[in-house]
Amino acid sequence: MSKKVFLSGVQPSGKPHIGNYFGAMKQFVDLQNEHDGYVFIADYHALHSLRNPKEMKENIKNVLLDYLAIGLDPKKVTFFKQSDISEHTELAWIFDTIITMPYLMRAHAFKDAEAKNKEIDVGTFNYPVLMAADILMYGPDLVPVGADQKQHVEIARDIAEKFNNVYGEGSQIFKLPEPMILKEVAIVLGTDGRKMSKSYNNTIPLFAEYEEIKKCVMSIVTDSSGGIPQNVYAIHKLFRPEEELKKIYAEKSGKYKELKEMLIEDLEKFIAPLRERRKEFAKDIPKALEILKKGGEKAKIVASKKMSEVREKIGVNI
């Protein structure tokens, strides 16, 4: 029996944080032995927030190093860069023609932007359609993501269904993917108790140096009610079993500084080996770029085959 397939991506929009890692990236590593994997850098998605070409280039290289440093194995997973596979944007256009504006207006990201009275670019509005193309192109069974991406995977399923109904003539051209969201890490909280997010400035970077870890942990917002500092605990439970942690927090009730110091040490223990691995990969950027190029060649074969099928189905192949 052929292996199941997973697919996921990360935007090169800045430094990844432990929310990205526990919410999604760790699952890529865990899945790679039993599954065929596609993992990519969603650079076209990042364009809606990043308009500095120098920074874009740096960030793309950085995400590549991040993927390698967390242990993704290019022999097991196809790595690529979204913009190298032009079939994604082509397929997104075709999906655009079968999906309605009122449907996309129900997307959380659009509604949030609208509520904030932001001037919304078409790319932001269309974000879920490009994401549907990213996913459906490779027919994955599973899409490991954090809870904030759940609706996007649901939209991809709806688009697959709609396309199959319109053009499938009874056959499934696109497989319906399942989101894979682990309950305990669906929403990793940040240093202020809200969802950890670059845009809230409440992150702990995944490859932080010791001093940076210290600074982040010391900035964790605590209330003055004594007892257990919830925001410290919420991050700490990513690194120790809760049974053990509950005892420690009960024993050290009210001793916020000691608990924070302990979290710093636990974070350092976890991050230091990742940081070192990343530094090793960073010594040979051309080699890392070659991995991306090879992965792109593999992904291109799959994507162009799928697009031939799609072009045939919609009738533009004459």
Contact positions toward ligand TYM, by CB under 6 A? 8-11, 19-20, 23-24, 42, 45, 131, 134-135, 143, 145-146, 148-149, 152, 185, 187-188, 195-197
| Residue whose CB is less far from ligand TYM, 134 or 266 | 134
Collect all residues with Cβ–Cβ distance below 8 Å to 98 and sequence separation of at least 6: 159, 162, 163, 166
| Residue whose CB is less far from ligand TYM, 84 or 134 | 134
Q: How far apart are CA 113 and CA 75, in angstroms?
A: 40
| Residue whose CB is less far from ligand TYM, 138 or 249 | 138
For the sheet with 178-180, list strands across it. 77-81, 35-41, 4-10, 142-144, 178-180
| Residue whose CB is less far from ligand TYM, 9 or 295 | 9
Q: How far is the CB of 174 from ligand TYM (least distance, A)?
A: 14
Q: How far is the CB of 68 from ligand TYM (least distance, A)?
A: 16
Q: How far is the CB of 22 from ligand TYM (least distance, A)?
A: 7
Q: How far apart are CA 304 and CA 261, in angstroms?
A: 52
171: its two tokens: 């056959």
| Residue whose CB is less far from ligand TYM, 9 or 229 | 9
179 secondary structure, DSSP code: E
Q: How far is the CB of 156 from ligand TYM (least distance, A)?
A: 8
Q: Where are the alpha helices (DSSP H) in 53-139?
A: 53-69, 87-96, 101-104, 108-115, 122-136
| Residue whose CB is less far from ligand TYM, 182 or 248 | 182
Q: How far is the CB of 213 from ligand TYM (least distance, A)?
A: 17
Widest Cα–Cα separation across the chain: 74
Q: How far is the CB of 286 from ligand TYM (least distance, A)?
A: 25
By beta-carbon distance, which residue lies closest to ligand TYM? Answer: 23
Q: How far is the CB of 77 from ligand TYM (least distance, A)?
A: 14
Q: How far apart are CA 191 and CA 19, in angstroms?
A: 11
Nearest to 50 by CA among 198, 156, 260: 198
Three-state DSSP state, 86: coil
| Residue whose CB is less far from ligand TYM, 23 or 229 | 23
Contact between 236 and 263 (Cβ < 8 Å): yes
Q: How far is the CB of 151 from ligand TYM (least distance, A)?
A: 10
Angle at 216 between CA 213 and CA 222, to 5 degrees: 135
Around Cβ 308, how many Cβ atoms within 10 Å? 12
Is residue 105 classed exposed, middle or buried when 0-12, 13-18 and 19+ CB atoms within 10 A define those classes? exposed
| Residue whose CB is less far from ligand TYM, 48 or 171 | 48
Q: How far apart are CA 252 and CA 249, in angstroms?
A: 5
| Residue whose CB is less far from ligand TYM, 69 or 185 | 185
Q: How far is the CB of 203 from ligand TYM (least distance, A)?
A: 8
